[in-house]
Amino acid sequence: MASIRAGVIGVGHLGYHHARHYAAMPDADLIGVVDTDAEKAAKAARDFNTRAYPDAAALIAGGVEAVSVATPTTTHFETAMQLIEAGVHVLVEKPLTATVAEAER
């Protein structure tokens, strides 16, 4: 079976653990991480032998197939929609969105 090309957006406390798990999974290839804090992204990239991307668009352009979104809740909807519209599989940390209306979309 081919490995899924995975990424993580938001490598704070929870996102760092998502990256760690993807890096350890035999059927996943952690191709990159994104964070608004470039130092956090660079540290996670070093720790898990992957690449730090500047934003979600660059991660998408890099060929990611599945992404964990572990950003602040207020950014979940916009980030997830960008990924979904690009055909990327998405796992969003809870809560899904900041509002019920966003979640229903």
Residue-range definition of the domain harbouring residue 78: 4-104
Please write the tens of the pLDDT for every residue from 42-74.
999 999 999 999 999 999 999 999 999 999 999
Q: Residue 1's pLDDT band (boundaries 50, 70, 90)?
A: low
Please write the tens of the pLDDT for every residue from 92-105.
999 999 999 998 98
DSSP state string for 12-30? SHHHHHHHHHHHH-TTEEE
Question: What whole-number percentage of the chain has pLDDT above 90?
Answer: 94
Domain count, the chain: 1
According to the model, what pLDDT value does residue 9 have?
99
Under 8 Å between Cβ of 69 and 79: yes
What is d(CA 24, CA 28) in angstroms, rounded to the nearest whole number?
8
CATH number at residue 21: 3.40.50.720
Under 8 Å between Cβ of 6 and 16: no
According to the model, what pLDDT value does residue 2 have?
77
